Amino acid sequence: MAIFKFSNVKKKVWVYVYRCKRVCEASDVKEFILQKPSFNDLQINVHELTTDDKNNKCFVVSAPYHMKDEMYKPEFWPKSVGFKRFDLFDGKYKQYNQGNFL
């Protein structure tokens, strides 16, 4: 049986996380997520996004799709940190795509 390179990729949930302190790094966000019991063995990617905001940072987080409901709960995130679905096709971040982003 032949093995083809042409295949699907695993579906992911993409979350835009904003209103994070300037001292926060992508590794801090990843560590926060991985300390949650249901996430400790999962592949999580976090990437800092460029922003003109001098007081806050924002990130995009990807995780396995089956964790979507958990990640969309307000109690999952620290108080006052904002989150919403990340839209790869939004013009603001069009330089990114799934191939070169996460």
Q: Summarize pLDDT for 51-101 with one digit per residue, the tens.
A: 888 999 999 999 999 999 999 999 999 999 999 999 877 656 655 555 555
Residue 37 lies in a domain: yes
Q: How far apart are CA 80 and CA 64, in angstroms?
A: 24
Number of other residues whose CB lies within 10 A of the CB of residue 62: 18
Percentage of residues of the chain with pLDDT beyond 90:
67
| Mean of all residue pLDDT scores within the chain | 87
Task: Quickly state the pLDDT bin for 1 (edges 50, 70, 90).
Answer: low
Evaluate if pTM is beyond 0.75: yes
Residue 5 lies in a domain: no
Given this model, what pLDDT does residue 10 score? 84
Q: How far apart are CA 89 and CA 53, in angstroms?
A: 22
Residue 101 lies in a domain: no
Residue 80 lies in a domain: yes
Q: How far apart are CA 92 and CA 13, in angstroms?
A: 19
For residue 3, report the phi and psi dihedrals to the nearest 5 degrees.
-105, 125
Residue 61 lies in a domain: yes
pLDDT greater than 90 at residue 40? no
Residue 98 lies in a domain: no
Residue 36: CATH number of its domain: 3.30.70.330
Residue 39 lies in a domain: yes
Given this model, what pLDDT does residue 92 score? 64
Task: Quickly state the pLDDT bin for 4 (edges 50, 70, 90).
Answer: confident
Question: What's the domain range around 54?
Answer: 12-93
Q: Give the number of domains in the chain.
A: 1
